[in-house]
Amino acid sequence: MGRMTFVFRRLLQLVPVAIGVTILVFFMIHLIPGDPAQTILGIHATPRRVALLHQQWGLNRPLISQYWLFLDRLLHGNLGVSLYYGGSAASLIISHLPPTLWLITYSSVLAVLISVPLAMIAASRKDGARDHVVRAVPLIGLGMPQFWLAFLLIYAFAIKFHFFPVSGWGSGFFGHLRSMFLPSLTVALALAPVVIRSLRASMLNVLGAEFITTAKSKGVAGKRLFLRHVLRNAVIPAITVLAINIGFLIGGTVIIENVFAIPGLGQLMINSIFQRDFTVVQGITLVFAIMVILLNLVADVAYATLDPRVRFSR
Amino acid sequence: MSAIPLTPEPGLPGAAPPPAAAPGARAERGEARRARRWYTQPALITGIVIMTVVLALAIAAPLITPYNPNAQNLNATLLGPSAHHLLGTDQLGRDTWTRLLYGTRLDLRIAFLAVLFPFTLGTILGSVAGYFGGWVDTVIMRVVDVVLAFPFYVLVIALVFVLGPGERSIYIAITLAGWVSYARIVRGEILVAKRQDYVLAAQSGGLGSVRIMRRHLMPNVISQAIIYSMSDIVQDIVAIVTLSYLGLGVPPPTADLGSMISDGQNFLSTHWQLTTIPGLAVVVVGLGLSLIGDGLADLLRPGEA
């Protein structure tokens, strides 16, 4: 199967999931207790505003046609009108996208840089002292609230030693690189335990494979064996592990953006919640889900490109 | 269906040994099981000890500390540790040790309750999907895919927002976002287990599907869900603490580890212990539960010890 066919088939598989995502996001409004429009606008809202919202959301129509209205607007790139700012929710969300994409990319890179060496150290001698130390990392790391970890890093690197700024996302490429280091490191450190755990397991798997035995019997040993034979075959699982946990990573960015005052989607989401700006919260929820779906698709394609066996087996 | 046994018994009660097993193999299994008694697992023991101490402190909080967690004393703000205040006081003169105990008590209670609902829902839907297969399986697993498309925190935060503040919303949000992992795990286990001879025997004996799932399959597949639930409680505690840091969880002034950490945020440069201590409490609880989970995984792993 060619690569294009593979991508096309994966895209087709995504259609039901994408439809399901829009249904769930649409239903958010009906989870609001009482009359959604009244609850969102508060008790002091004028009946006219409430009626206007009813009309905008089509609340007086049957459920199916409400969803149809929602979907029709969505396909035209219309996420509704921000209740707080008054402008288009879609353009508000797009303007907050860059810092979040920066944070996601930066922390993915840092997570790989942290996890791969540690997983290699652990796998190089199973049940050795170093293996036990690395295996203890997830036990502590998984119970660590990310925002708390962020405070510790701020205290150490921004307050005690003024290496990095306490908040903001800087300006220009290098400004971003410097200001976003602590936030990205926090997200990466929170993700690392999960990645290390899976990577260690997959490296041990590779080490037990027949081609490694062959390589060893040919006299390949030490660093060369690890870099050329084990690492190459362990990179593919690393991509998969990252892709599986992309939701965890994105969830982390939402929280970390609020700790470091980074003007991304996560900060917009929490601010909108406090301004009771339902449309924007709904829009961001949808955008995050689409992001997860797309990143998973990218990872699948990368996976199929790196490992031809995947393409042929499906 | 409501009477699914949720007992976290490690010995797999009621698990009928596969009839095909030769007597020799059965003796070997018994040997392996004896070698893996729970008290020979260092991880499990350490975890149980940690959790026993934490739970005892949390439950006995009113007996251990004489202070009220919310009582302010503006003449004694931001004190360091002393005989009167073991861990000092916060910006409103409230005793930090007292708030730590009550906060742990509250967060543990919410987390343990919050894990029960997704566990039950996910286990039921996962076993139905795995056992019946076909379109039932397709529909349930498509819903799982849809929920998994949302980052856990994004979904929980959005749901707590639309449902309104309060403990009840936290339970609903965590259930709707968290059941999918259990459904996937249990479905996978059922897919393997339903081809075993003892299930075929029960089916040919004319037993109903519900009875087979409840009495024959459930005891054999539930252990993986129980192991996962340990790390799930850790995830839920962290989520609850995070929600209250963001101002979406337990409303102030109730003592809760998340609001303690965020209260301390403003005093990070001068009184770093106000932020550090409640976070450490979360880490200790997480460590205890993870160790129990790892120990259980070793204990319940089929085959070699």
Quote the DSSP letter at residue B36: T
Res B33: pLDDT = 55
How large is the average pLDDT for residues A238-249? 81
Instruction: Please name the helix (run of DSSP H) or strand (run of DSSP E) that holds residue A17, with its range, or none.
Output: helix A3-31
- Which has the closest alpha carbon to A16: B159, B182, B141, B155? B141
User: CA-CA distances (angstroms) from residue B103 to A53, B210, B241?
Assistant: 40, 41, 10
Half-sphere exposure of B127 (CA within 13 A, CB side): 25
Summarize pLDDT for A19-77 with one digit per residue, the tens: 999 999 998 888 888 777 878 787 777 888 888 888 777 777 888 888 888 888 888 88
Report chain B residues whose CB lies below 8 A from the CB of A146. 238, 242
CB-closest option in A139, A140, A292 to B151: A292
Query: Per the CB < 8 Å rule, is B150 touching A155?
Result: no
- What span, in angstroms and rounded, lies between the C-alpha atoms of A103 and A182? 10
Q: Cα–Cα distance between B29 and B41 in angstroms, integer?
A: 18
Instruction: Please state whether the peptide bond connecting residue B42 to the residue before it is cis, i.e. omega within 30 degrees of 0.
Output: no
Quick one: average pLDDT of A155-169? 79
- The DSSP secondary structure of B129-167, one letter per residue, reads HHHH-HHHHHHHHHHHHHHHTS-HHHHHHHHHHHH-SSH
Q: What is the pLDDT of residue B146?
A: 93
pLDDT at residue A312 is higher than 70:
no
pLDDT score at B13: 39
**CA of A103: how far to CAs of A177, A256, A263, in Å?**
10, 9, 11
Residue appearing with tokens 């251990």: B64
Q: Which residues of A, range 51-80, sit inside 8 Å of B by Cβ? A: none
> What radius of gyration do chain A's Cα atoms show?
24
Question: Smallest Cα–Cα separation from B240: which of B109, B144, B147?
Answer: B109
DSSP B40: G
In A, minimum Cα distance to B242 occurs at A145
List residues bridging with B89 in a β-sheet.
B95
Q: Is the four-CA dihedral B261, B161, B177, A109 of positive or negative sign?
A: negative
Selected residue of A139, A144, A187 to mutate for chain B interface (largest B Cβ count, 10 A): A139
Q: What is the value of ipTM here, to two decimals?
A: 0.87
> What percent of chain A has pLDDT above 70?
93
Q: How far is A4 from chain B (nearest CA, A)?
A: 24
Residues of A in contact with B264 (CB under 8 A): 151
More confident residue, A298 or A270: A270
Q: Which of residues 214-253 of B touch A (CB under 8 A)?
A: 231, 234-235, 237-238, 241-242, 245-248
Q: What is d(CA B44, CA B230) in angstroms, rounded to the nearest whole number?
A: 12
Contacts of B247 in chain A (CB under 8 A): 274
Closest CA to A21 of B183, B15, B146, B107: B146
Distance, in angstroms, between B232 CA and closest chain A CA? 10
- Pick from A33, A140, A258: which is nearest to B246 by CB? A258
- The contacts found for A164-169 with CB under 8 angstroms, 24 or more apart, are A166/A260, A167/A260, A167/A261, A167/A262, A168/A260, A168/A261, A168/A262, A169/A99, A169/A102, A169/A260, A169/A262, A169/A263, A169/A264
pLDDT at B36: 61
pLDDT in the model for residue B305: 37
Tell me the C-alpha distance between B170 and B196, whole Å. Answer: 39
Residue B69 Cα to chain centre, angstroms: 26
pLDDT per residue of chain B (305 residues) written in tens, 0 to 9: 333 433 333 333 344 444 444 444 554 555 555 556 667 778 889 999 999 999 988 888 788 877 778 777 777 777 777 777 777 777 777 888 888 889 899 999 999 999 999 999 999 999 999 989 889 999 999 999 999 999 999 999 999 999 988 888 999 999 999 999 999 999 988 888 888 888 888 888 888 888 888 887 888 888 889 988 988 999 999 999 999 888 888 887 788 888 888 887 888 777 778 888 888 999 999 999 989 988 888 887 654 43
- Higher model confidence: residue B117 or residue A206? B117
pLDDT reported for residue A80: 81
Distance from CA of B301 to the nearest CA of A (A): 16
pLDDT of residue B175: 93
Residue A79 predicted with pLDDT over 50: yes
- pLDDT score for B53: 92
The whole-number pLDDT of residue A24 equals 92
Can you tell me the distance from the alpha carbon of B240 to that of B234, in angstroms, rounded to the nearest whole number? 10
Read off the pTM: 0.85
